[in-house]
Structure 1
Amino acid sequence: MTVTFDLTLDCTDAQLLAAFWKTALGYVDEPPPPPFRTRGEWLAQFDLPESAGDGAWLCHPQRAGPRLAILKVPEPKTVKNRLHIDIRVPRDGDPAAQWARAERLAGAGGAILVEAEGHHVVLGDPEGNEFCVAAASA
């Protein structure tokens, strides 16, 4: 049986990370599940102390990739991620496309951590979650 999966990022500022990851992935805000009109209405059914601002839910515009939930947690990030996202950039005839994308994401609040020349770039998002930018496989 094939299953689907979502990815969840813990954070201290869900809206900051949502803006960054929308830029990084081209994702959009995921609408709340029917029949709810807002995320606040959807969250209210669970009787949780969180507010709609404590989380963000993103998806690919055509629902082609995994959804990304970004949730506020009380504790800060303290160690390296055990799982990270790899952003695959189409080369489109330009071998430097991945470095251009990495520079753009650094300008959007990320930080370049490691450059593996000719292969990939390791970055941190605005809260230090590591991810890689690499060329898409042919």
Structure 2
Amino acid sequence: MGLVVSHLSIDCTDPNALAGWWAEVLGWERAWDEDPDDDEVGIRAADRSAEWLFLKVPEAKAVKNRLHPDLRPPDGSDQATELARLLALGATPVDIGQGPEVLWHVLADPEGNEFCLLLRTPAQVRADGD
């Protein structure tokens, strides 16, 4: 049996703000009470299957992420709808050399951390057997 992932840790300058932003994006909940002075803020999926921990660091992000999340539109939605929602929440398009013909969108959160919005929903992936 392999190890179990506890959480993904993300360095940031404002853990409360970034955790709140990602909780809104993912539809997750805070993993513990909100405190504006906290140096660590966690969010988690409602079923507790995943948790992200936001850690305060003094420096701003300076280079491309070595690790980033790939997100799918939820069943019942689509990429265009979710892209519009993410942009309205403050995500920004990022060019990391992906080229214009890819089927995903590369975006950055308010602190510049890259992530991708994929084309297909989980149901579409299951239907295709991928």
TM-score above 0.5: yes
Deviations 1:82-104 (A, max 9, x none): 00001111454x6xx11211221
In 2 relative to 1, CA 52–118 (structure 1 residues): closer, same or farther, beyond 3 Å? same
Paired residue type of 1:25:
L
Match for residue 57 of structure 1 among 17, 37, 42: 42
Determine the structure 2 residue equivalent to 1:101. Answer: 82
Report the TM-score when normalising by structure 1.
0.74
**CA radius of gyration, larger in:** 1
Which position in structure 2 is the counterpart of 1:4?
4
Matched-pair contact (CA < 8 Å) for 1:110–1:124 = yes
Q: Could you tell me which residue of structure 2 aligns to residue 34 of structure 1? A: none
Mark the CA change 1:12 to 1:98 in structure 2 (over 3 Å): closer, same or farther.
same
Paired AA for residue 38 in structure 2? G
**Cα distance between partner residues in 1 of 2:17 and 2:57:** 14
Alignment of 1:33-44 (within 5 A): none
Task: Return the alpha-carbon distance in structure 2 between the equivalents of residues 81 and 74 of structure 1.
Answer: 17
State the alpha-carbon separation in 2 of the partners of residues 109 and 121 from structure 1: 14
Unaligned runs of 5+ in 1: 32-37, 41-50
Aligned Cα root-mean-square deviation (Å): 2.3
The answer on whether the counterparts of 1:102 and 1:112 sit within 8 Å (CA) in structure 2 is no
What is the TM-score when the length of structure 2 is the normalising length?
0.78
Identity of aligned residues (%): 36
Pairing partner for 1:111 from 92, 117, 120: 92
Task: Name the counterpart of 2:25.
Answer: 24
Query: Is the contact made by 2:16 and 2:34 (CA closer than 8 Å) also made in structure 1?
Result: no
State the distance in 2 between where 1:102 and 1:69 align.
24
Query: Across the two proteins, how many residue pairs are aligned to each other?
Result: 118
Separation in 1, partners of 2:75, 2:94 = 22
Give the Cα separation in 1 of the matches to 2:43 and 2:61: 21
Instruction: Say whether 1:126 aligns with 2:110.
Output: yes
Deviations 1:99-132 (A, max 9, x none): 2112211111211225855621111000000001
Counterparts of 1:21 and 1:117, CA distance in 2: 27
1:76 pairs with one of 60, 72, 90: 60
Q: What are the ranges of 5 or more consecutive residues in structure 2 without an aligned counterpart?
A: none
Partner Cα separation in structure 2 for residue 61 and residue 76 of structure 1: 30
